[in-house]
Copies of this chain bind each other. A is one copy, B any other.
Amino acid sequence: MSTRRETVRQALTESSGFRSAQDLYADLRSEGSKIGLTTVYRALQALSDSGEVDVLRTDDGEAVYRACITDSHHHHLVCRGCGKAVEIEGPMVERWADSVGTQHGFTDITHTVEVFGTCADCAAAKG
């Protein structure tokens, strides 16, 4: 009876990038769903166990999830001052991730890259 699990999977797939369980819960509730937080967590755990989503931790310990898409993607260069994000591409990095994974006998390789910095404006503002 994985209707709820499907719902969560879909919500995650539709949103790009990483979402926290609480984010997804808020999203679903605001869409009118009566899903419970517990179920969101359970679904994410199940999806994670079966390898359908990737999980990692933010700096403040929150778990964030991403639908596991092997499809090509881009990354973001995020300003830690104002949050401005620039889309960046790194074919070199894609190749590197694949090759390093393959070297260790891993298959079905995906990766995430986040680059953080202080943008020119914020650097200037800060003095």
Interface residues of A (CB under 8 A from B): 48, 51, 54-59, 61-63, 68, 77, 79-81, 86, 88, 90, 92-93, 96-97, 100-101, 104-120, 123
Q: How many Å lie between the Cα of A90 and that of B101 in the bound state?
A: 12
Q: Is the CB of A61 within 8 A of B57?
A: yes
Q: How many Å lie between the Cα of A56 and that of B54 in the bound state?
A: 18
Closest to A110 in B: B116
Partner of A101, one of B51, B106, B109, B115: B115
**Contacts A56-B114, A57-B57, A107-B123 supplied; 8 other A-B pairs, CB < 8 Å:** A77-B104, A90-B96, A92-B96, A105-B120, A108-B117, A108-B118, A109-B117, A111-B116
